[in-house]
Amino acid sequence: MQTQPTASHYIDGAYHEDEGGEAIPVVYAATGAEIARLHAATPDVIDRALAAATAAQPAWGAWSGTERGRVLRRAADILRERNREMSQLETMDTGKPLSETLIADATSAADALEYFGGLAGSLTGEHIQLPDGDFVYTRREALGVVLGIGAWNYPTQIAAWKAAPALACGNTMVMKPSETTPLCTLKLAEILTEAGAPPGVFNVVQGYGPQAAAMLEDPRVAKVSLTGSVPTGKKVYQSAAAGMKHATLELGGKSPIVVFDDADLESAVSAAINGNFYSSGQICSNGTRVFVQKGIKEAFLERLAERMKDARLGDPMDEETTIGPMVSERQLGIVMGYVEAGKSEGARLVAGGERVDRDGFWITPALFADVTDDMIIAKEEIFGPVMSVLDFETEAEALERANGTEFGLAAGVFTNDLTRAHRMAAGFQAGTAYINTYNLTPVEVPFGGMKMSGVGRENSKAAIEHYSQLKTVYVSMNPTEAPF
Ligand code: NAD
């Protein structure tokens, strides 16, 4: 398939190139081969994109919500029609197997566009009655130009999760995808144009950290929405604060899954597999610390190791494949480093964790048992297929240890005790708590982090608060008085 895009950037409704920018080689993770070469934005590209988004915003914001929503819903339909093509490109961009991308990427982007497209027409302010006939009404207004900055694990989904609420609220957007996966977002831009978005409403600018940082510092940007790591999140939050800009930060995690003795074993094992090995573990909300109560521990490990034998590592374009490569050589190196750290700190490697002898960036899913809270693999986000199983005895102990992390993105509990499940959900310090399931993120529900895992919420009606602002209009029905 054609993987070299027409040009690196998408500005004001058309592709735009400037070969003066630093090269961005795009590598197919399954083979290590270069499949496209793009260029990071020059200052001129950045200026053009921000100028286009700034110029387009007032008219776009003045459209009725229903009209804006229609564009988003049309884009959703086109994405679904082209799901296979989009999924293949997502696989080339990220290395994730087609068996995943066919159901999790363009489809989830389409869900977001459809949901916020539907919501757009119902966004309103409110009327507040005051004494003596005075009243206030609030206007829900756009923020202006939103800067999106993406991570590399879900490029289509990340761009759409940001663009859908931003555009629904009447903002325009400049999206900078991850330099590791720059291809899919350009397709989303093409589709939005085709769906009727006026030029400048959704722009794509390629680049590394410095290009994103330069855009964030520009006074034309009113809000930033980042999906990335905690260290990047801190820098972005600081820069946003300097300009008093709104910020949504979707950052990393080291989430717990707590499995009690009375849990449905098969479901808990499935959740541990999904929450550690889907997308080769490159998911922010993964439940990478699996706390298993002592009575069920051996049965859990045995069943897990057995089911891991059914993982099919291979050509990501083969729909039977369930395990793809790491996104890049760099990420593979990071993950291999953690596997070594786990071994040297005394964790028991039950299965996997081996570099696969083939082109591309492959590792077999790793299962560590007898992990303790102080080990590096239990403390740091790995962002790869490395599961740590830890033992526990009591509910109080499990909750305390589950919360013993600077992160707070998600948490899961498996038990058939109804009251315990809700006690745990209430006690978890996490943006999402799952009971007897894990890692489901439908667009209708809020998604985001507590503690170091981020600020703000994506998806659901909650996202509207982060992509719009209220103006209070006070109307007096009486003469204005003064003391003198
Ligand atoms: P990263 O932080 O290295 O990069 C994220 C983005 O930030 C990239 O586009 C990068 O170019 C940009 N960037 C880098 N330095 C910057 C700077 N100084 N100013 C502005 N932008 C800058 O993250 P990554 O390695 O691409 O992605 C993995 C991380 O993302 C993991 O920590 C993962 O947990 C997190 N993540 C979070 C979510 C979520 O929704 N919470 C989803 C996916 C990934």
CB-count exposure of residue 31 (10 Å: 0-12, 13-18, 19+)? middle
Residue minimizing CA distance to atom 15 of ligand 1: 209
Tokens standing for 401?
């240890």
Please state, as a whole number, how many other Cβ atoms lie within 10 Å of the Cβ of residue 80: 16
Tokens standing for 376?
């590096």
Q: So what's the pLDDT on residue 225?
A: 99
Distance 416 CA to ligand 1 centre (A): 37
Question: Cβ < 6 Å from ligand 1: which residues?
Answer: 149-153, 176, 178-179, 208-209, 212-213, 216, 227-229, 232, 235-236, 250-253, 284, 381, 383, 409, 449, 454
Q: Is the dihedral of CA 187, 189, 190, 195 positive or negative?
A: positive
> If you count them, how many residues does the chain have?
484
Residue pLDDT, tens place only, 329-388 = 999 999 999 999 999 999 999 999 999 999 999 999 999 999 999 999 999 999 999 999
Closest ligand 1 atom to Cα of 458: 40
Q: Where are the alpha helices (DSSP H) in 176-229?
A: 184-194, 209-217
Distance 97 CA to ligand 1 centre (A): 22
Does the annotation mark 284 as catalytic?
yes
Q: Give residue 53's identity as a one-letter amino acid code.
A: A
Q: So what's the pLDDT on residue 145?
A: 99
DSSP for 374-398, written as a single string: TSHHHHS---SSEEEEEEE--HHHH
Q: So what's the pLDDT on residue 60?
A: 98
Q: So what's the pLDDT on residue 343?
A: 98
Does the annotation mark 340 as catalytic?
no
CA atoms of 365 and 63, how far apart (whole Å): 49
* Catalytic one of 190, 284, 381, 395: 284
Does the annotation mark 250 as catalytic?
yes
Tokens standing for 274?
């999904």
CA atoms of 361 and 332, how far apart (whole Å): 6
Q: Which of 233, 231, 266, 273 is nearest to 250 (CA)?
A: 233
Calculate the CA dihedral of residues 237, 241, 245, 247 and round it to 10 degrees. 20
Q: Are 468 and 68 in contact (CB under 8 A)?
A: no
CA 320-153-177 angle, to 5 degrees, is 130
Angle between helices 155-168 and 83-94 (to 10 degrees): 120
CA atoms of 456 and 448, how far apart (whole Å): 6
Please state, as a whole number, how many other Cβ atoms lie within 10 Å of the Cβ of residue 364: 18
Distance 31 CA to ligand 1 centre (A): 24
Distance 396 CA to ligand 1 centre (A): 34
In a 3-state reduction of DSSP, which class is residue 33? strand
* Catalytic one of 90, 96, 114, 162: 162
CA atoms of 145 and 168, how far apart (whole Å): 13
Distance 228 CA to ligand 1 centre (A): 2
Q: Which of 270, 252, 305, 254 is nearest to 414 (CA)?
A: 270
Give Cβ neighbours of residue 394 (< 8 Å, ≥ 6 apart): none
Does the annotation mark 162 as catalytic?
yes
Q: Give residue 466's identity as a one-letter amino acid code.
A: H
Among 149, 338, 406, which residue has the most ligand 1 atoms within 8 Å of its CB, making it the best to mutate? Answer: 149
Residue minimizing CA distance to atom 18 of ligand 1: 209
The pTM for the full model equals: 0.98
Q: So what's the pLDDT on residue 268?
A: 98
CA atoms of 305 and 300, how far apart (whole Å): 9
DSSP for 121-174, written as a single string: TT----EEE-GGG-EEEEEEEE-SEEEEE--SS-HHHHHHHHHHHHHHTT-EEE
Q: Tokens 């081969």 belong to which residue?
A: 33
Low-confidence ranges of the chain (pLDDT < 50): none
CA 136-471-242 angle, to 5 degrees, is 150
